[in-house]
Amino acid sequence: MRMPLLKETGLGEHKVKAKWIPTIVKVEDHVIVPDIDPNIENPDQFLEDYTTNMALSPMDKSKPLWEFHLLQLKTSYAGSVAVARFHHSLGDGMSLMSLLLACTRKTCDLQALPTFVVPKKSNGMHICWSLIAWFWFIVKLLFHTCVEVFKSMVIVCFVRDNATPLKDKSGATISVNKFIHRIFSLDDVKVVKNAMNMTVNDVLLGVVQAGLSRYLSERFDLNKTFKSRKILEKNNIYGVVFFNLRPNRNIEDLAKMMEKGSKSRWGNSIGYVLFPLWVRLEEDTLEYIRRAKITMDRKKLSLEPIFSFALLKFTMKVLGLKALKNLVNSIFSRTSVIFTNVVGPCEEISFFDHEISYIAASSCGVPQGLTIHMQSYVKKVIINLAVDHNVIPDPHHLCDLIIDSLNSMKSAVVERDSCKLEV
């Protein structure tokens, strides 16, 4: 089997150019099956330590930049585990998710490929109203783009997050990562979503803000008093939220992604926005979701994600790799959290006749103390935290606080709706 290999060629003492070259793939060099004691005491802890060691070890650039680790290890969520590692140059999360689905089959029909969600077409409207709506949309788009891009550049150039328990005083650096994950119900998210007439992303961002607020209040040893609220309000905390820039926001068929002229191409097609996190002690836990929606609606109604993608691409092509690294370090050193969310399969799938129980995704190697990745799979949501242990020594507790916040929000909307029915 032949596939591209990323190769660096020297162009002088300081100039290095990376290019793709074809190479022969030896599958045995990419599939690792470690010898694991079947009677291990804490398999979940072993998995966390194993993925941490994987993150610390560099990838061998003499072969294609991917590998699979097959662990005969029964954990709390699965009978065995497959850990895949890909270099980001191969593609972003949506590309890799399309590749996964192309290699899988439905569990209910082992000969059938998974179903791909077709984007919904917008409803038609009267031509007069459509012109007015189009004009008003352009006005709002230009306004929000100017405002959000200006704020983004000010943050990157001048503003830095305050020193909080989410960030050390010198800024986040690349160090030991700890990967942990939890699974909760997508139906619980949809209960809150439908009750508040918002999106799943709005709810997840609100849940993260609520969890971080509770975590910081505990680390600051605060209670819900006026003075403690003011302490949290003084902290400016920004997160980097990544956007999929493809026209189809759902998982694309791999064959279509590979077609010439496809609008949803394979590769890296992601932008980012700098998201001001609402970190406060709120009596009404649903306020975190409302704040997330207000901010995210402004971001969606701007070209900030496209601008950020173009800025990174321009920096790489014109100024080179060193300038790109400096820009990326500047972005992450001035923020505290990375948040990503990838939609997964909407039906149960199997991989070479092995039923997949869950999918947990994350990234490593970025100079950030906390990365929160949300991954959906059928009726599950998998939250994966990648943390710098020097910054967040208790990631399990942080994860529990985030999930507890969702449960509190669900209870709040159920109680609110029941009161409406009684009235």
User: Taking the model in full, what pTM does it have?
Assistant: 0.88
Residue 253: name the closest of 236, 269, 265, 267 by CA: 265
Mind listing the pLDDT tens digit for each residue in 199-250?
A: 999 999 999 999 999 998 888 775 555 555 666 677 788 999 999 888 776 7
Is the pLDDT assigned to residue 385 strictly greater than 80? yes
CATH of 134-422, one of 3.30.70.3040, 3.40.50.2300, 3.40.50.1100, 3.30.559.30: 3.30.559.30
Is there a contact between 61 and 8 (Cβ–Cβ < 8 Å)?
yes
Domain boundaries, the chain: 2-86, 134-422
User: In Å, what is the CA distance from 84 to each residue of 62, 66, 100, 414?
Assistant: 18, 7, 11, 39
Mind listing the pLDDT tens digit for each residue in 50-62?
A: 998 888 888 888 8
Average pLDDT of 316-320?
Answer: 88
Average pLDDT of 147-165?
Answer: 83
Burial 87-113 (b: 16+ CB within 10 A, else e): eeebbbbbbbbbbbbeebbbbeeeeee
Active-site residue, from 69, 87, 88, 389: 88
Mind listing the pLDDT tens digit for each residue in 48-99?
A: 999 988 888 888 888 888 999 999 999 999 999 999 999 888 888 888 888 8
88 as an active site residue: the answer is: yes
pLDDT confidence of residue 396? 94
Mind listing the pLDDT tens digit for each residue in 18-40?
A: 677 788 888 888 899 999 988 89
Mind listing the pLDDT tens digit for each residue in 109-133?
A: 888 878 766 556 555 555 666 788 8
